[in-house]
């Protein structure tokens, strides 16, 4: 509106300005020399103003205005223009203005807003706010230039005054007059003047001018001014903030913006910390979508937050200095603390990320692109937290994904997290919800690699943040514990335990939260319950007793659980009580002197009272008593108890054990038992006088009798002594002795060699004539005996004396012998449930679900029945689970055991593993003894055995099987192990192992590596010697089948143990690099000395060379497969695994080209052999350089040789290929061919002729191989072969359509002949596939017809795709379609469908001389010849069919 009203006067105004311009310098010069007389000024300037409605005040009060400012401006303009003295009057008016503002007070008045003067008549005539006089005059265009000049000339007078009274800064008010003018008459001139001013003004004024520039200048000046500001920016860092403020408000061209941004980025390192947020804001806000990635990447590199953080001491001194120094500018944080600046920087990034999707994506890409651990900075983590905290789902998911990937690949280390929390706790507090959510997500991840990082986030958050956050962290961890997901629960409990140790007083505040978990113990495994009670009892009964407020609750829970009759709850009670004993009775290190460092009497009384309570409440149930002994043993092993408590336990244990289980060795054993009692397995024959014996058979008989009585009479007066408690009680006794005598077991060493009261084991021969009860009694007796020996070995395996070692070895032999007896006894006792040996599992509930059959190793005796394995509630589902995995494994391990099993008529003990006592890791140290072989025995005539302790093959296999199970349990990071539905089953029998970390286990394996290598070499030498003795024949007359089988099992197990060790995922972490080098150093050192200082790459090379040497002595294909897998695993540890591919492939080929014979002389065969062959053949084709050539070699040479060989013979060049294994070969060849086709690079438009020819050649070979394989169906037309062909045929066809056809489109004109022959070959294959579809339909075989619809669709697609290719190359006439008859595999027409042939759903194409259009004159002739070719071709094919099928 204003503009419209004033428009008519614009032209005149412009004319007037010209005159003013001309006169301005004169008037300005004159004014300083002689001021104009007061009255004339008054008469022109004052009068005009008064008439226009403004009264100028002289007395320090504001000028008054009686009209609206628009009216005022209009009146002045009219007065000037209508005056007879115009244009001279303008000069007079301005001179009057000049003299009026000479006086600083009046000048100030003219700069300040006018006050409305309310006339009595019209109070609403003037609005409440009016501009200053000068500001209103600036709106009059004829006066504007002059007034601007006057103001800018006046400005330097006030430059150094600082702020006057009332905090007014005159320079700032002058600049404010120039802002937001409706029109600037001479913008360019104004810009120049302002920049001149900037060059001379002090910093404060410079800042004011620069920040006001966007509001003063018109858009046309923006680019020029920006260039000047950019120059200024590089000269003066003090002005960074105002310049960037101004620049971000200017309207700039993109090229200039990039230039400015580049300059700003270059100076980023020199910018002051408090200015940094503004700089970052400018950089991020000036980004366009196209250059976002590059800019953010540069910003990330240049932004060194690490240097922004000042150590607390320095920080204090800095703030002290600041308070003394000049006043801080408004942009700096009040405290000036570095944390505040970092917080502001992050806020800037947050707003940029939130409002610009491209920036959030650019940050994610920038962080993703970093691929070195050292290159990651704190900013990366902080930005991920920012991205996660924004509401956009996409950036939240992106942040989570990147974090997981970085943690999984080891690029985000705990050190980086620690540094972030340590230095930026205050900043990160704002992102706490995101930190918590990310930690939860990591902890819940099924990938075990990322779980620990989530744990570190929780831990640091607890230590760094305030109590509210700590409470949230504990709450979140408690939620994890109650989730019931095994891996999550373990990690959360471990974290809580860690926090209790690190921050006991803080954690005590949240003890009530943790106590809440006691309501959710149903889902926890025994190991987790142990952890939970450990942490609660530590809180409640620890040394400082900060959490003493939950003590009573703990006692109540324990008593309630102990008094329960449900075994599960009693178990929880026992575990909990023992953990509380551990915390209450722990050795107090820093206690007051007055108590002599021992427990207070009251506490000691509570501890003994609790032990008595547990003992008395578990006496009624042998399982509960055994669990109590096991738990107490664990406690003594893992913690340091007060000497008083330790002694009390040890004394009662020793006395009770002697009373319950040990009897003196007398001449005869009185009593009536199911079997005649004999003293067996005495290793101390010479000390027969005054010896002792374990009273096993009488106790078992009595226990059985008691059970019978108990059913008729519920109340029992005296305590039951159950043989079930024998092993657990002995373990407790041994650990007490070890603790008290610092590892010396002299007090109880008689128990190693002492005999047991058993029966004569010959009774096993008479199993058939026994009653069911007698057979079960015998099995139970064997289980208890084996478990006793296992526990004895656990106890004495670490003893150093040679005599002790000899006895341990003998006990090992006893176990292996007794196991063979037990296998036979179990075979004759179907439905038998063994006594429990691991008491902390569910198996003690005594419920028997449907038993599971160990199908894999079932005894097939004359009757052909398959034995059922025991089932015993949920722990037994363990036996089912283990069986499915373990039994398959063992089959693979011991392919020849079947034969021997039949001889011995035994069943496998695989499914009975939960019923044996767990062997400690220490027992594996026995592997460090040498290997005893038959040749050694024969030559040394038993003499050497006495001097040196040697392992027999059976014992070696026994120990290796146990070691492999342990390694697979703790080193194989299978997410399945953490799946909730498996509950505790998988871990039955590993409760001691669970208490060690996988790193400890791996270190233990590395220590045993030299011994394992020695055994490996011994096995190798054994089979080499065997081959040389038998002149290279595997099954020579000198072969002892049983020994051969044991040695080959041992050989295979050794390779599997090495493979599992080297496959441990922990080796990929930088922290375990030294352990990996040490392990490889052992292998490399067997070949060359001095491996310690070699690089990892060299170590891998030598290890590989060492292992390859074993190739010549492989006893079976499964052992050969294990060696190949081990070599692949070792090769992967180096940076350059490709270097070893060729060797691995040639080794696999060597094994495939070898005939595998069992020691009895038969060829290896069977399901396991086929599975092994499948894996080995896959390894060969995956590692070979040219898959297509390898496939052609087998399909083109090996299979024809097989076809020509007699029925049971193999192919000459591939002896593993025979009629039984053809399906295996066929399946792998088809699968690998399809995989190779998928990997052929797609055709690019940029490809040159050579590249196209190469790809065409590759496809030619692939199609040729495919044709060969598809045609084999005519000979091998069994259902599985057809199934494979239909499945992979479709996949190959799809790959060809996707990758091959675009290549043919492009190559058609250049390589017409090649394309034609390729399609011709492929057409033969598609026709055969079509026949197979017909065959499937006739036979109505659903397993085959399932593949038909998808395959038919692809076949049709192929036809039309070829048509499209010809059309693209202007050859569509060369294409015609006819109905293809449905035929069966032999090529005979399927008659029943003749009537429907016109509707048949697959058509066949034939291309006739596809020529470009120019050659069309020859087309007819070509077509004819092609047609005759087609007829000829079909005749040939039919002829082929007949000959093929007649074979």
Taking the CA atoms of residue 1004, residue 1009, residue 1010 and residue 1011 in that order, the dihedral angle to the nearest 10 degrees is 80
pLDDT of 583 above 60: yes
Predicted pLDDT of residue 858:
33
Spacing of C-alpha 451 from chain mean position: 8
244-251 average pLDDT score? 83
Predicted pLDDT of residue 577:
92
Residues 6+ apart with CB under 8 A from 1378: 1403, 1404, 1406
Sign of CA dihedral 1392, 1396, 1400, 1404: positive
CA distances from 1407 to 260, 943, 1312, 1412, 1418 (A): 64, 85, 12, 13, 15
Helix (H) or strand (E) holding 372: none
Predicted pLDDT of residue 1391:
67
**Angstrom distance (rounded) from CA 456 to CA 449:** 13
**Angstrom distance (rounded) from CA 388 to CA 390:** 6
pLDDT tens digits for range 1111-1163 = 888 888 899 999 999 999 888 887 677 778 888 888 898 888 888 887 777 77
pLDDT of 380 above 50: yes
Predicted pLDDT of residue 1057:
93
* Total Cβ atoms within 10 A of residue 34: 7
Query: Which of 623, 632, 515 has the alpha carbon at shortest distance from 571?
Result: 623
Predicted pLDDT of residue 1077:
87
Give the chain's count of helices (H) and strands (E).
Answer: 63, 11
1295-1302 average pLDDT score? 87
- The string of DSSP codes covering 780-840 is HHHHHHHHHHHHHHHHHTT--SHHHHHHHHHHHHHHHHHHHHHHHHHHTSTT--PPP--TT
Q: What are phi and psi of 1198, to 5 degrees?
A: -60, -50
Strand order in the sheet with 662-664: 662-664, 692-694, 756-759, 677-680
- The string of DSSP codes covering 1093-1162 is TS-HHHHHHHHHHHHHGGGGG--SHHHHHHHHHHHHHHHHHSS-GGGGHHHHHHHHHHHHTS--B-TTSP
**Angstrom distance (rounded) from CA 1149 to CA 86:** 111
Helix/strand/coil percent split, the chain, to 5 = 70, 5, 25
Helix (H) or strand (E) holding 877: helix 873-882
pLDDT of 595 above 80: no
605-632 average pLDDT score? 89
Helix (H) or strand (E) holding 52: helix 47-52
**Angstrom distance (rounded) from CA 1110 to CA 1150:** 13
237-251, 591-605, 985-999, range with the lowest pLDDT:
591-605
pLDDT tens digits for range 67-108 = 888 999 899 989 888 888 888 888 888 898 888 888 888 888
517-526, 530-539, 575-584, range with the lowest pLDDT:
517-526
1274-1300 average pLDDT score? 87
Strand order in the sheet with 54-55: 54-55, 64-65, 115-116
pLDDT of 1075 above 70: yes
**Angstrom distance (rounded) from CA 414 to CA 199:** 51
**Angstrom distance (rounded) from CA 625 to CA 627:** 5
Tell me the pLDDT band of 1060, cut-offs 50, 70 and 90. very high
pLDDT tens digits for range 22-65 = 344 334 333 333 333 334 435 588 888 888 888 888 777 888 88
- More confident of the two residues 126 and 746: 746
Tell me the pLDDT band of 167, cut-offs 50, 70 and 90. low
- What percentage of the chain carries pLDDT values higher than 70? 79
Predicted pLDDT of residue 16:
41
**Angstrom distance (rounded) from CA 486 to CA 480:** 10
* Total Cβ atoms within 10 A of residue 1210: 19
Tell me the pLDDT band of 125, cut-offs 50, 70 and 90. low
| 1100-1115: burial string, b at 16+ Cβ within 10 Å, e else | bbbbbebbbebbebbb
pLDDT of 118 above 70: no
Helix (H) or strand (E) holding 678: strand 677-680
Query: Which of 22, 29, 56 has the alpha carbon at shortest distance from 41?
Result: 56
pLDDT of 872 above 70: no
Predicted pLDDT of residue 596:
55
* Total Cβ atoms within 10 A of residue 18: 12
Predicted pLDDT of residue 787:
93
Q: Which of 6-20, 262-276, 902-916, 1377-1391 has the highest mean pLDDT?
A: 262-276
519-528, 711-720, 727-736, 1191-1200, range with the lowest pLDDT:
711-720
Task: Say whether pTM exceeds 0.85.
Answer: no
- Reduce the DSSP state of residue 757 to 3 states and report it: strand
Tell me the pLDDT band of 441, cut-offs 50, 70 and 90. very high
pLDDT of 1017 above 80: yes
**Angstrom distance (rounded) from CA 825 to CA 675:** 15
Predicted pLDDT of residue 6:
40
How many Cα neighbours within 13 Å face the side chain of 1032? 2
- What percentage of the chain carries pLDDT values higher than 90? 9
What does the DSSP 8-state code read for residue 55?
Answer: E
**Angstrom distance (rounded) from CA 508 to CA 1059:** 46
**Angstrom distance (rounded) from CA 1030 to CA 1015:** 22
Predicted pLDDT of residue 1395:
43
pLDDT of 321 above 60: no
CA angle 809/810/813 to nearest 5° reads 90
Predicted pLDDT of residue 842:
64
**Angstrom distance (rounded) from CA 290 to CA 357:** 12
806-823 average pLDDT score? 90
pLDDT tens digits for range 237-247 = 778 888 888 88
944-969 average pLDDT score? 81
Predicted pLDDT of residue 433:
92
pLDDT of 998 above 70: yes
Q: What are phi and psi of 848, to 5 degrees?
A: -115, 110
pLDDT tens digits for range 1204-1223 = 877 778 888 888 888 888 88
Q: What is the mean pLDDT of the chain?
A: 77
1298-1314 average pLDDT score? 83
- Whether 719 and 619 have beta carbons less than 8 Å apart is answered as yes
* Total Cβ atoms within 10 A of residue 433: 13
**Angstrom distance (rounded) from CA 478 to CA 471:** 11
pLDDT tens digits for range 827-845 = 888 888 898 888 877 654 4
* Structure-block tokens of residue 1232: 């690998």
* Structure-block tokens of residue 645: 């408590």
**Angstrom distance (rounded) from CA 420 to CA 456:** 12
Tell me the pLDDT band of 370, cut-offs 50, 70 and 90. confident
pLDDT of 1433 above 70: no
Predicted pLDDT of residue 1092:
60
How many Å is the Cα radius of gyration of the chain? 46
- The string of DSSP codes covering 923-939 is GGGGGGSEE--HHHHHH
pLDDT of 475 above 90: yes
* Structure-block tokens of residue 1343: 């397993």
Predicted pLDDT of residue 119:
59
- More confident of the two residues 669 and 908: 908
**Angstrom distance (rounded) from CA 508 to CA 478:** 14
What does the DSSP 8-state code read for residue 664?
Answer: E
What does the DSSP 8-state code read for residue 871?
Answer: -
Q: Which of 898-907, 1026-1035, 1058-1067 has the highest mean pLDDT?
A: 1058-1067
Tell me the pLDDT band of 889, cut-offs 50, 70 and 90. very low
- Whether 834 and 915 have beta carbons less than 8 Å apart is answered as yes
Predicted pLDDT of residue 1308:
82
């Amino acid at each position: 509106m204003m503009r419209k009203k004033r428009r008519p006067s614009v032209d005149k105004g412009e004319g007037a300005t010209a005159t003013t311009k001309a006169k301005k310098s004169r008037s300005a010069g004159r004014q300083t020399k002689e001021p104009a007389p007061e009255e004339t000024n008054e008469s022109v300037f004052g009068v005009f103003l008064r008439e226009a409605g403004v009264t100028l005040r002289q007395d320090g009060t504001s000028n008054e205005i009686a009209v609206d400012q628009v009216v005022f401006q209009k009146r002045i303009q009219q007065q000037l223009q209508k005056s007879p003295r115009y244009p001279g009057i303008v000069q007079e008016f301005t001179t009057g203005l000049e003299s009026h503002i000479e006086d600083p007070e009046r000048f100030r008045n003219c700069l300040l807003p006018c006050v409305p003067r309310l006339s009595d008549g019209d109070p609403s005539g003037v609005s409440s706010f009016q501009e200053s006089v000068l500001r209103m005059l600036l709106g009059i265009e004829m006066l504007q230039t002059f007034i601007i000049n006057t103001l800018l000339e006046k400005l330097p007078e006030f430059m150094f005054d600082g702020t006057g009274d009332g905090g007014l800064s005159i320079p700032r008010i002058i600049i404010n007059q120039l802002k937001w003018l409706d029109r600037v008459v001479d913008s360019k001139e104004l810009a120049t003047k302002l920049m001149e001013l900037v060059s001379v003004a002090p910093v404060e004024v410079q800042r004011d001018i620069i920040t006001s520039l966007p509001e003063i200048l018109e858009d046309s000046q923006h680019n020029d001014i920006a260039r000047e500001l950019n120059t200024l920016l590089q000269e003066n860092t003090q002005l960074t903030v105002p310049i960037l403020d101004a620049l971000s408000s200017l309207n700039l061209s993109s090229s200039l913006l990039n230039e400015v941004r580049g300059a700003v980025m270059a100076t980023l390192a020199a910018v002051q910390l408090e200015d940094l947020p503004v700089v970052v804001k400018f950089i991020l806000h000036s980004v366009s979508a196209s250059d976002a990635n590059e800019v953010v990447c540069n910003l990330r590199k240049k932004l060194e937050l690490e240097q922004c953080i000042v150590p607390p001491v320095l920080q204090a001194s800095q703030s002290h200095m600041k308070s003394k120094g000049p006043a801080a500018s408004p942009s700096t944080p009040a405290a000036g603390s570095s944390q505040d600046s970092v917080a502001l920087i992050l806020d800037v990034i947050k707003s940029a990320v939130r409002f610009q999707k491209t920036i959030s994506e650019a940050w994610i890409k920038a962080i993703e692109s970093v691929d070195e651990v050292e290159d990651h900075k704190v900013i990366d983590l902080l930005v991920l937290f920012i991205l996660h905290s924004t509401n956009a789902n996409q950036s939240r998911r992106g942040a989570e994904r990147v974090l997981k990937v970085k943690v999984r690949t080891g690029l985000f280390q705990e050190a980086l997290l620690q540094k972030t929390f340590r230095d930026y706790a205050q900043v990160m507090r704002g992102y706490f919800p995101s930190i918590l959510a990310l930690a939860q997500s990591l902890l819940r991840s099924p990938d075990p690699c990322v779980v620990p990082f989530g744990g570190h986030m929780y831990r640091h958050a607890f230590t760094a943040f305030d109590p509210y956050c700590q409470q949230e962290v504990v709450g979140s961890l408690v939620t994890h514990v109650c989730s019931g997901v095994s891996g999550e629960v373990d990690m959360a409990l471990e974290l809580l335990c860690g926090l209790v140790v690190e921050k006991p007083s803080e954690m005590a505040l949240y003890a009530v939260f943790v106590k809440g978990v006691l309501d959710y113990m149903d889902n926890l495994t025994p190991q987790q319950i142990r952890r939970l009670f450990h942490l609660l009892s530590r809180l409640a009964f620890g040394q400082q007793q900060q959490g003493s407020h939950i003590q009573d609750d703990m006692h109540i829970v324990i008593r309630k659980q102990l008094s329960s009759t449900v075994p599960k709850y009693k178990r929880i009670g026992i575990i909990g009580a023992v953990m509380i004993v551990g915390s209450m009775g722990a050795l107090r290190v820093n206690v007051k002197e007055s108590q002599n460092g021992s427990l207070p009497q009251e506490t000691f009384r509570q501890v003994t009272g609790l032990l008595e309570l547990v003992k008395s409440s578990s006496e009624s149930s042998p399982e509960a008593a055994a669990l109590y002994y096991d738990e107490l043993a664990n406690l003594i092993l893992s913690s340091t108890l007060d000497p008083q408590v330790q002694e009390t336990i040890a004394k009662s244990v020793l006395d009770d054990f002697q009373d319950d289980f040990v009897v003196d060795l007398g001449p005869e054993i009185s009593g009536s038992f199911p079997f005649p009692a004999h003293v067996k397995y005495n290793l101390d024959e010479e000390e027969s006088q005054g010896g002792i014996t374990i009273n096993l058979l009488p106790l078992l008989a009595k226990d059985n009798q008691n059970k019978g009585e108990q059913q008729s009479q519920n109340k029992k007066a005296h305590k039951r002594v159950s043989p079930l408690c024998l092993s657990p009680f002995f373990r407790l006794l041994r650990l007490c002795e070890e603790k008290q005598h610092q590892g010396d077991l002299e007090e109880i060493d008689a128990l190693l060699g002492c005999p047991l009261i058993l029966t004569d084991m010959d009774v096993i021969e008479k199993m058939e004539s026994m009653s069911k009860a007698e057979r079960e009694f015998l099995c139970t007796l064997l289980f208890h005996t084996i478990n006793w020996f296992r526990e004895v070995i656990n106890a004495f395996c670490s003893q150093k004396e040679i005599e002790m070692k000899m006895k341990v070895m003998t006990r090992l032999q006893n176990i292996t012998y007794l196991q063979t007896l037990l296998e036979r006894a179990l075979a004759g006792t179907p439905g038998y449930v063994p006594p429990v040996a691991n008491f902390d599992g569910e198996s003690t509930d005594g419920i028997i679900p449907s038993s599971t059959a160990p199908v894999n190793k079932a005894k097939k005796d004359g009757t052909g029945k398959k034995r059922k394995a025991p089932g015993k509630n949920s722990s037994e589902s363990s036996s089912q689970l283990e069986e499915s995995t373990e039994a398959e494994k063992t089959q693979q391990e011991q392919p020849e055991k079947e034969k021997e099993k039949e001889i011995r008529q035994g069943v496998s003990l695989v499914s009975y593993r939960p019923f044996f006592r767990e062997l400690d890791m220490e027992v594996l140290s026995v592997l460090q003894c040498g290997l005893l072989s038959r040749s050694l025995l024969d030559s040394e005539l038993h003499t050497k055995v006495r001097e040196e302790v040697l392992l027999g093959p059976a014992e070696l296999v026994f120990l290796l099987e146990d070691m492999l199970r342990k390694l697979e349990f703790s080193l194989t990071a299978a997410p399945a192990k953490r799946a909730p539905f498996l509950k505790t089953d998988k871990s039955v029998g590993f409760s001691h192992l669970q208490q060690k970390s996988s790193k400890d286990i791996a270190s233990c394996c590395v220590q045993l590596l030299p011994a394992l290598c020695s055994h490996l070499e011994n096995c190798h030498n054994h089979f080499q010697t065997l081959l040389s003795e038998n002149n290279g024949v595997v099954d020579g007359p000198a072969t002892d089948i049983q020994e051969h089988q044991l040695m080959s099992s041992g050989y295979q197990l050794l390779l599997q143990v090495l493979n599992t060790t080297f496959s441990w995922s922990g080796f990929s972490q930088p922290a375990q690099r030294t352990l990996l080098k040490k392990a490889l150093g052992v292998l490399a050192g067997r070949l060359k000395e001095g491996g310690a200082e070699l690089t990892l790459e060299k170590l891998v090379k030598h290890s590989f060379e060492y292992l390859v040497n074993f190739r010549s002595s492989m006893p079976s294909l499964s052992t050969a497969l294990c060696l190949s897998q081990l070599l692949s695993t070792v090769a992967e540890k180096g940076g350059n695994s490709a270097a070893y591919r060729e060797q691995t492939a040639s080794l696999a080929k060597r094994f495939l080209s070898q005939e595998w014979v069992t020691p009895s002389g038969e060829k290896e065969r069977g399901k396991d052999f086929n599975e092994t062959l499948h894996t080995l053949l896959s390894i060969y084709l995956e590692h070979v350089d040219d898959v297509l050539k390898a496939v052609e070699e087998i399909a083109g040479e090996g299979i024809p040789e097989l076809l020509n060989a007699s029925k049971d013979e193999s192919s000459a060049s591939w002896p593993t290929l025979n009629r039984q294994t053809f399906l295996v070969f066929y399946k792998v060849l088809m699968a690998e061919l399809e995989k190779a086709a998928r990997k052929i690079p797609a055709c690019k438009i940029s490809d040159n002729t050579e590249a196209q020819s190469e790809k065409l050649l590759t496809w030619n070979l692939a199609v040729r191989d495919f044709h060969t394989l598809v045609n084999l169906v005519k000979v091998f037309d069994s259902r599985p072969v057809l199934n494979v062909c239909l499945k992979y045929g479709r996949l190959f066809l799809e790959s060809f359509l996707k990758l091959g056809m675009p290549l043919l489109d492009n190559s058609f004109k250049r390589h017409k002949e090649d394309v034609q022959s390729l399609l011709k070959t492929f057409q033969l294959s598609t026709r055969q596939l079509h026949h197979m579809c017909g065959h499937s339909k006739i036979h109505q075989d659903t397993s085959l017809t399932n593949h038909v619809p998808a395959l038919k669709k692809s076949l049709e697609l192929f036809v039309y795709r070829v048509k499209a290719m010809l059309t693209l190359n202007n050859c569509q006439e060369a294409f015609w379609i006819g109905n293809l008859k449905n035929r069966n595999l032999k090529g005979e027409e399927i008659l029943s469908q003749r009537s429907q042939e016109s509707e048949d759903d697959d058509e066949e194409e034939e291309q006739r001389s596809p020529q470009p259009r120019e050659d069309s004159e020859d087309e007819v002739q070509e077509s004819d010849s092609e047609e005759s070719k087609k007829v000829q071709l079909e005749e040939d094919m039919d002829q082929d069919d007949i000959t093929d099928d007649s074979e």
